Structure 1
Amino acid sequence: MKKAKKALSISTKINFAIFLSLSIMMAVIVVSYGEAQKVDRQLRLLSESVIPLTNTIANVNVLNLEKEIIFDRILRHYEESNPDLNLIKSEMVKFESLDKEDKAEIVKAQKLLTQTLDESIVLEEAKKLANIVPLLKVISEQTESIYKSAKIIVAMEEGHDTEMLKSHSLKLDQDVDELDKLLKETLMILEKISSEEANMVLLGEVKLHDASLMVALLTFITGIVFSPVLTKIIIKTLHQLTDGVEQIAKGDFEIQIPVLSSDEVGVLSMAFNSMANELKTKEKIKTIFGQYVDPRIVDRLINESGDVESPEDGKKIMTVFFSDIEGFSSLSESLAPTTLVKLINHYFSIVSKPINETRGVIDKFIGDAVMAFWGTPFSDENRHAHDACQAALEQFESLKSLNLEIPDIINVENNEININIRIGLCTGEVVAGNVGSSGSTSYTVMGDTVNIAARLESANKQYNTRILIDETTQAMVKDEFEVRKIDLIRVVGINEPVCIYELLSRKDLLTVEHQNLRSNYESAFKHYQNREFSIAEEFLNKALVVVPDDGPSMVLLKRLNYLSDNPLGDVWDGVWNLSSK
């Protein structure tokens, strides 16, 4: 009993010759296209630049010859015993007219050359014309010099000043000879370029003709021998696959391709259907979980089969962000629960936008607090601190519009609610990855950097500041943002001291008032660190004259009063311990 024949594969139905023929055809077409582009550039260079430029320089040469002839006639008239001044004047008018036309032609040539060199479509070919640029400049200068010398010689002839006439005539002859030499050199260069480009065009045309003949021959052989087989076996299914791909590109993941054979085309159809089903599932997951988890994390979970790095191998340098609403407890007590939720949802939408737009990842919402982070693989490893600072400043700009919208959000006419926030930023090493139980995990970051960011957000309350950042963040953004050094502190739970700065604005946007405030405050802090408390107090009083309610100045002044009543010991590291979180 004979075994059933296996379905013929496409590779059996279509022999190696078709593959080879098509490959050769494609290679020839690619080469032909390149040659056609090159020929087109060369033709454009010839027709639009080289030939017009050659004609223009030739006109300049002709005009200079005519000027020489006319000026020579003028000098001969002067040599006559009784020169006809009216005739000389008429000749001078012709000379000046030709000179203007001559200069206009030179300007025309310069403009044409500049335009050619500026055009992006002309590449290596146009570089050959670059040698003419200095020549045209010298030709222009020489033409002007000849005109001035001619005018001087005419004036001397009229004034019968024979002493200087000979030297000026000699200079004029030298200038004319030099100009003739320059024009001939320019024309020779253009002639050489024209010849080279014409030869290249002819060679390119021969190559194109040969390539066209080869493509036609291969197309004929392929069409006669293999087209019926190809059409019968795969064209119909390929059309269906093409239509299916277009539908998927439009977001229709319900598309399915009928499987009509068990060969490679059939396998391709089944693979397409499987892909469409997988995309449908992934899109559904992204739609659902993208509302709860950053879409980029969802993408990584889907595309990498959930293989996001574990905390053990996820150590990274990131910038961590914490924010909190001032007086949230009082706000929550003054509003009904549903109204409060509505307002908080609006607030989260407003402050989330700058984070998302600067490639940050919102880790979580904790009551009214927001935790976010910037770093690889979600943002540029060299820009994460910059992006975090940018987002922090933009949030305060967004709050202005939110506070204007609060009456409409909570349906009141007279609004006494004004939302303000505090932000802490810290840059350093974190442990990033999936954290949680075997049944429930989340992608987050952990470590001292996270804790310090949270403490800095809270420290704003003590210093009456808006945004506090650590020294590492300051070092990464100091060239693009304005900051003020505030204090050297030890926060609760962290042994290492932290030098903190206030983020003020983008670079060069600080007002003169706040520049003076920063200068006085940082001078005061420097003397405070050196235990020169009386000098520090003087600078703090100057700072408070500039901005009477400046929080850091009042905090440091109060600390100086405390230290005057409670003198320090001999050993002091300049670090102030914060007693609260």
Structure 2
Amino acid sequence: MRIFIHYVAALALLTIYGGQVCPLIDTLTIFHWGSLLLVTFTPMVVLRFLLEPRVVQSAPVYDQPGRQFLLEFSLFAIFGLFLSIYDTVVLHFPPMESGAKVILGFISFGFFIGLDLALAREHKNGEAIIRDGITPPEASSYTTLTRKFSTFALATVALTGTIVILAVAKDVYWLSEVDMAKDGMMAQLLIMAEISFILAILCTYILTIIISYTRNIRLFFGNETSVLRQVHSGDLSGRVPALTRDEFGEIAAHTNTMIDGLRERDRIKSVFGKAVSPTIARRLMEQEEKGVSLGGSRQMLVILFSDIRNFTSYTESNPPEMVIKDVNAWFTEAVASIQDHGGIVDKFIGDGILAVFGLDGDVAACENAARCAMDMQARLQGLAPNLCEPMSVGIGIHKGEVLAGIVGSPERLEFTVVGDVVNTASRIEGMTRDLKASVLISKAVYTDLKTNMDLSDWRDYGAQTLKGKAEPIHLFGLPME
């Protein structure tokens, strides 16, 4: 419908245009001049519909708008040339006085119609790309918005100015033959009406182009901002399809690169969060943003150390695949329990786990660690039917001041806790074998538990000398069942 309106309007306006700018054409009747235009337009329209599928629709998506413009503009220019030749050869009109004006009229309509249909093609292709999720092939050319605007502005000014000058020149010629004393006022009114009509037509076409381009810009910005809103809300599943090969397309490509970077960042955070505790991962990333500074701060923390008993014989008597499967099953349950009770997994040490409670200032760290230890043992019992053989785990808990912070080098960082309390917790876990206990805690931990937990099932194991420690330590614990 858009094409039909453009071509019918062009036929009608060119019929009027001829008489407005050319005194020679003005000598013809409207029917005669209109018939010549109709004969010219008929094969042009037929040829247009034959060429469009081959020239425009078969081209890459990015190249179609440009080809649409060239098709429309070329047809108007070529058939305008044919008509000007007819004027010169058959009607014997001077080529510079009539033929050039005919060609100019056809070129002007070809320019505005071609540009509007090209913008319509660009909009249609853009909607299809967004709707169907098409990834267009690379375009053969790149045209900046500055070049597009400047070309349109210069061509519009040149065509508008030339047509107005030709109309004025024709009117001056006409005024030379008018009796100004008698018909001067009427002649002036007719000239003003004529110039106003020409400017109204030109302004209408210019406004049409502006509206079409504004509609395309709205589509381009909507395409970009809708995905950016998703990114702002945390949804990185979208991509910005590049609808054009200009700055809008470049912005879309850079936005997609940014989204890919954010996806990679989240993937790294996800993998990093699986390698270390999410809390520790966050602290390391915050430290990296501030600038790497090795070291830490003294904190009063509760340290939980667990270890699989007789793991060497366990690995010797079972296939490696089954050992890995069982250990992973246990680690899965143990980590879930530690996180459920507000603890942080510092690291895996072979078949052992070092966990920290109270890193964020939790006053119930001792209670949480003790309840976590009991829950870990309960979860281990629940795993028993799925293990290749029974698994026994000892858990030791101690409380004290440690240095919590970053160790390593600027190239490789690790957040950990360092101090005698950590070593003591490991030694307490080692004593679970000798004392036949499933969980052992130091007196420092036990003292904090007395007011918050039922300790009737806990046994007092008295002062015990730990391996490598000069001073004995008072232990309490849960006997093995």
Q: Shorter-chain TM-score: which interval?
A: 0.3 to 0.5
The TM-score with structure 1 as length reference comes to 0.40
